[in-house]
Amino acid sequence: MASYYNEDTILYLNGEFVKASEAKIDLFGQSLHYGYAVFEGIRSYRTVSGETKIFKEVEHFERLKKSAEALNIPYPYFAQELIDATYEVLKRNNLQNAYIRPLVFLPANMSFIQSTESFITIQAWEMGKFLGDKLLKIMTSSFERPNPKAFKMEAKASGHYVNSIMASQDAKAKGYDEALLNDVNGFVAEAPGANMFYEKDGKLFTPALGNILPGITRATVIEICHELDIPVEEKFFTVDEVKQNADAAFFCGTAAEVIGWESLDDVKLKKDWNETVSKVIQDAYKARVMEKEFKAALV
Ligand code: PMP
């Protein structure tokens, strides 16, 4: 297991900065027992100027608020207050390239009734590359993403991640790097912790919203496509369509960044990654988080 904290680590807890090793939670909490909590996954980078910058911090804290509201979790926090607290956590832990994890959780309550108060913690730890730079071997999972009529799939809710953990562990046990999950209608949805795109004849396709987490990286990729005049379409498609059509494909997420596929169910993607528009997107994304100027080379 990775080491997330040590004796000196400081985290943010309900308005205070406290030692991680001394912070306590209630073992009778509704969040711990039922997975009823919401969280975010954010990254900070040491940019080209040497400064520490949190990438898309407003978007992440706005999504945290929306997630809490979708689940009837009290959210008496302001984005700017939490952004300031996050920079303070980074400073106190001497972190620049970090993964940041805000979590809104609930007090002791074994019933299903709504809580009138919530707690918030913001934790951070050093992060290099998440899935690595090598291309991934992907397996279509037998696990589907949850039915959006059973869960608020647009919310980043802790309990949803039991599904992610099952699918990811299953793919790894079978010798693959990561799983690809379908939605309840049999269309491609997303990875356990990332969104997906595929490329065909220089155009990108990504699953439409509805059954997936609306990723901030997904939105950034679409933004980059518009800026670079790369056609992009959100639509529903099947795994078979990806296998038949895709020149390239990738996962994208805050932690994963943009990471290409080598194969899907042992079917190799058609093009060399380095000759794809997807690779241009990967480079553009890396430049963007580092606040580096990016000039696209023609593919
Ligand atoms: N889907 C799921 C299920 C995720 O957990 C994540 C990671 N937060 C994503 C997509 C990508 O979202 P983002 O780009 O906002 O990190």
Distance 197 CA to ligand 1 centre (A): 13
**Same domain membership, residue 98 and residue 204:** no
Catalytic (active-site) positions: 156
pLDDT confidence bin for 33, thresholds 50/70/90? very high
The domain that holds 79 is classified in CATH as 3.30.470.10
Q: Can you give the pTM of this predicted structure?
A: 0.97
Which residues 6+ apart lie within 8 Å of 218 measured at CB? 195, 197, 206, 252
For the cut 90, the answer to whether the pLDDT of residue 168 exceeds it is: yes
DSSP letter, residue 153: T
**Cα(250) to centroid of ligand 1, in Å?**
13
108: β partners? 29
* pLDDT exceeds 90 at position 201: yes
Atom 3, ligand 1: which residue's CA is nearest? 193
* Whether residue 31 has pLDDT greater than 80: yes
Mean pLDDT of 2-17: 95
Q: Are residues 217 and 120 in the same domain?
A: no
Residue (of 239, 238, 235, 183) closest to 208 by Cα position: 235
Domain that holds residue 142: 136-289
Look at the block and give the residue holding tokens 């023609």. 298
Question: How far from chain centre, in Å, is Cα 73?
Answer: 21
HSE of 34, CA atoms in CB hemisphere, 13 A: 18
Residue 73 banded pLDDT, cuts 50, 70, 90: very high
Instruction: Note whether residue 296 is domain-resident.
Output: no
Residues 155 and 267 in one domain: yes
The ligand 1 atom nearest the CA atom of 63:
15
Same domain, 140 and 285: yes
- For 119, phi then psi, to 5°, come to -120, 160
- Does 204 have pLDDT greater than 70? yes
